[in-house]
Amino acid sequence: MHRQTIRTSTHNYDVTVGKGLLSEFVNYLPKHYQQVFIITDTIVQPLYAEALRKSLETKETKVAISVVPAGERSKNIDQYYQLLTDAIQHNLDRSSLIVALGGGMVGDLAGFVASTYMRGIDYVQVPTTILAHDSSVGGKVAINHPEGKNLIGHFYPPRAVVYDVETLDTLPDHEKRSGYAEVVKHGLISCDSFFRDVLTVDLTTSLHHELIVSHLQNGIQVKANIVEQDERESNIRKFLNFGHTLGHAIESELGYGQITHGEAVAIGMLFAIRVSEQENQVTLPYDELYQWLETNHYPLTLPDMDVNTLIQRMKKDKKSSNAVVQMVLLEEVGRPVTKNISDDQLSTYLMNFLRELGLT
Amino acid sequence: MHRQTIRTSTHNYDVTVGKGLLSEFVNYLPKHYQQVFIITDTIVQPLYAEALRKSLETKETKVAISVVPAGERSKNIDQYYQLLTDAIQHNLDRSSLIVALGGGMVGDLAGFVASTYMRGIDYVQVPTTILAHDSSVGGKVAINHPEGKNLIGHFYPPRAVVYDVETLDTLPDHEKRSGYAEVVKHGLISCDSFFRDVLTVDLTTSLHHELIVSHLQNGIQVKANIVEQDERESNIRKFLNFGHTLGHAIESELGYGQITHGEAVAIGMLFAIRVSEQENQVTLPYDELYQWLETNHYPLTLPDMDVNTLIQRMKKDKKSSNAVVQMVLLEEVGRPVTKNISDDQLSTYLMNFLRELGLT
């Protein structure tokens, strides 16, 4: 079991990573709650929701559960409003707790519900995917708009993150790939040796718990270091968007759910590396990353996409400022920088990259 | 012109009260913005929106306007989502500004849009009602749920409040009454002489600008002092809810828009005074307040209402904790306290009060 404390401008919270934490969940809560509202999805609910309910429910604590359809599409305004209505019907008040049991989608959605219910109540993240090692730390909560991912949301840190790695055993391969893309990203923006260590993982066989815990700890630490220094994303927090400018545009253009978040980010990282090499006149481990992605069955071809449409998508993305696309680039592994790229230049880079990648 | 600075945990902002501020609006903004999105309503739009647009629009600043139907009913999830969509279509990015031009409804709604658009962008309050002297300070932003007022929202302070009292000249009488109820409240919870001074106002004739400016300044100061000390409503901020426990229940039971907010709070204050007298064994200026309210044509009778339904409404209200109704009471004028009132006791108080008030 590994525990680290994250500092935010409003409060501190603990992130605990280990095996078998769900059965003793109540020990990881910051205080006693009379009303707990578990929000989970249709995949996670049959696996862990009742166990979690049992470990919480006492004479003094009532527990309610709402289940949303699995998948990014549930991060929409209607689902959000339905959960607020559920919260009211379960009589949640300002001193109640929301538990987000699931992957990043559930965390973002349940966190946004918590952030706006009665102007904000406590919530705890219980990630059940590798990808959620990223989203569960940092306090970003959001839903999607048809025009862009996470366009509606807030910064609202949880009161605790309780990460039981046993819940990762049943993850399907595409979820492993999606999650590990963010681990790779944390390697690329922080430290060459961590990056090289991540590339030793073989996602096509069953995962070694020890290696996962080590990678998750390291990944969380990279993210935590950055968000602690820059809670509002005005500066270095942008580094966490490495690979996301194109990644989000691809997700958004294909339609959420057609490719996993991490798989889209993987392609986005390859693009960001190629742009970095040209903008910064350096050589970066494009080939090593490409080979690892290929070995681990990441989708590395895309349907024919219009370059201008992709650029428009990038501009709609919240990371762009005043309609100029800002990208996170690398000077070397572990040294990220941000740079505004003109539309013309971006168009050229994109055309070359898509040609290099090859089209389906 | 009067200016005071409000301190919050995230930033400070200026509240400026005076005549003719709209024509020089740009001088009161904290910085330059390239994209400004004015949100207003169907009553205010024909009066002030174009003038405000003209004072803002330059080669470097684009201005867009969205107009929502006047009335509390616009504080709903659909209108909120439509404004987010408008913001996207107007290409607002993280460095854009939203201007809330209107009364408390517009301020709450536009502020909530600003608080959740791309995880929060700047907004400025431009109140055009007396009531908004209250809501424009303190950073509460929200929309309503059919089950309760302001159940969905956030704490999100504006970057400035620009209060042009000339916009108050055209207010209809019921809006004057609604606004002055909150001024009375600020008197009751802060200082006997301010309270007595407020009761010198005659709302049935045209308002004296100087007296208004003085009352608004004082009211804003009372509110600002409290919210600065207690941004998150855990403690003394609750005093601002004086009269609101029953007030909100009445509004909610009658249906929003059937009685103005302040008119409902006026009845709520009478109730809170009666409960205070009995709980605290004191005599309070019930009769003076009742007479002033009557002279100024406040509605002081109610349709027949079920006491238990009202109590249930009070419990749904966000100010109650763990399903016990907490009321703000007075030990004397200027000395508010909070107290939990049991259902039985509340029921008795309510029955006696409704009987005393008389039914329509």
| Confidence (pLDDT) at B230 | 74
pLDDT confidence of residue A200: 93
* Token couple for A149: 């991912």
In A, minimum Cα distance to B87 occurs at A151
List per-residue pLDDT tens for chain A, 360 residues long.
Answer: 889 999 888 899 999 998 889 999 999 999 999 999 999 999 999 999 999 999 999 999 999 999 999 988 999 999 999 999 999 999 999 999 999 999 999 999 999 999 999 999 999 999 999 999 988 888 999 999 998 889 999 999 999 999 999 899 889 999 999 999 999 999 999 999 999 999 999 999 888 888 888 899 899 999 999 988 876 656 788 999 999 999 999 988 887 668 888 999 999 999 999 999 999 999 999 999 999 999 999 999 888 889 999 999 988 765 445 578 999 999 999 999 999 999 999 999 999 999 999 854
Q: Which two tokens mark B113?
A: 């849009």
Query: B289-307 in b/e burial notation, b at 16+ Cβ within 10 A?
Result: bbebbeebebeeebeebee
DSSP output for B172-214:
-HHHHHHHHHHHHHHHHHH-HHHHHHHTT--TTSPPPHHHHHH
Cβ distance B34 to A84 less than 8 Å, yes or no, reads: no
Tokens of A63: 């527990």
**Residue B21: DSSP 8-state:** -
Least Cα distance to B27 among B56, B4, B63, B61 occurs for B56
- Please answer whether residues A49 and A22 qualify as being in contact, where contact means their C-beta atoms are separated by less than 8 angstroms: no
Q: Which structure tokens are listed for A324? A: 């100029």
**A70 CA to chain B: closest CA distance, Å?**
23
Query: By the CB < 8 Å criterion, does B11 face chain A?
Result: no
What pLDDT is stored for residue A295 in this prediction? Answer: 96
ipTM of this complex prediction, to 2 decimal places: 0.82
- Give pLDDT, residue B256: 65
Which tens digit of pLDDT belongs to each residue from B52-80? 999 999 999 999 999 999 988 999 999 99
Rounded Cα distance between B188 and B197, Å, is 11
Which residues from chain A sit within 8 angstroms of residue B117, using beta carbons? Answer: 151-152
Nearest beta carbon to residue B154 from set A77, A115, A145: A115
Tell the CATH topology of A222-357: Dehydroquinate synthase-like, alpha domain (1.20.1090)
Mean pLDDT of chain B: 92
Is the Cβ pair B115, A77 closer than 8 Å? no
> Which of the four pLDDT bands, split at 50, 70 and 90, describes residue B258?
confident
Q: How confident is the model at residue B155 (pLDDT cuts 50, 70, 90)?
A: very high
Q: What is the pLDDT of residues B159-217, one digit of tens each?
A: 999 999 999 988 999 999 999 999 999 999 999 999 999 999 999 988 888 888 889 98
Burial class (CB in 10 A: 0-12, 13-18, 19+), A153: buried
A279 is catalytic: no
β-bridge partners, A6: A13
Cα–Cα distance between B83 and B106 in angstroms, integer? 11
What b/e readout covers A225-241, taking b as 16+ CB neighbours within 10 angstroms? ebbbeebebeeebbbbb
Least CB–CB distance from A153: residue in B91, B93, B119? B119
Contact B94 A155 (CB under 8 A): no
pLDDT for residue A148: 85
Supply the angle between the helices A77-89 and B77-89 in degrees, to the nearest 10: 150
Does the distance separating the beta carbons of B116 and A116 come in below 8 Å? yes
Q: Are residues A316 and B153, on separate chains, in Cβ contact within 8 Å?
A: no
**Closest in A10, A118, A150 to B318, CB measured:** A118
Q: Distance from A146 to chain B by nearest Cα, in Å?
A: 9
**CATH number of the B2-168 domain:** 3.40.50.1970
In chain A, CATH 3.40.50.1970 covers 2-168
Least confident of A34-48, B28-42, B139-153, B250-264: B250-264
What integer is the mean pLDDT of B310-338?
A: 84
Q: Is CATH 1.10.760.10 what the domain over B173-357 is classified as, yes or no? A: no
Mean local confidence (pLDDT), B228-246: 83
| A-interface mutation test, from B92, B150, B152, most A Cβ less than 10 A away | B152
Cβ–Cβ of A94/B321 closer than 8 Å? yes
Which comes out higher in pLDDT, residue B235 or B3? B3
Q: Where in chain A is the domain with CATH 1.20.1090.10?
A: 222-357
Residue B319 has pLDDT above 80, yes or no: no
Pairs of CB atoms within 8 A across A/B: 90
Q: What is the pLDDT of residue A48?
A: 96
At B22, is the pLDDT very low, low, confident or very high (cuts 50, 70, 90)? very high
Q: pLDDT tens-digit profile of B264-283? A: 999 999 999 999 999 999 99
Task: Give CATH 1.20.1090.10 domain extents, chain B.
Answer: 173-357
A11 touches chain B (CB under 8 A): no
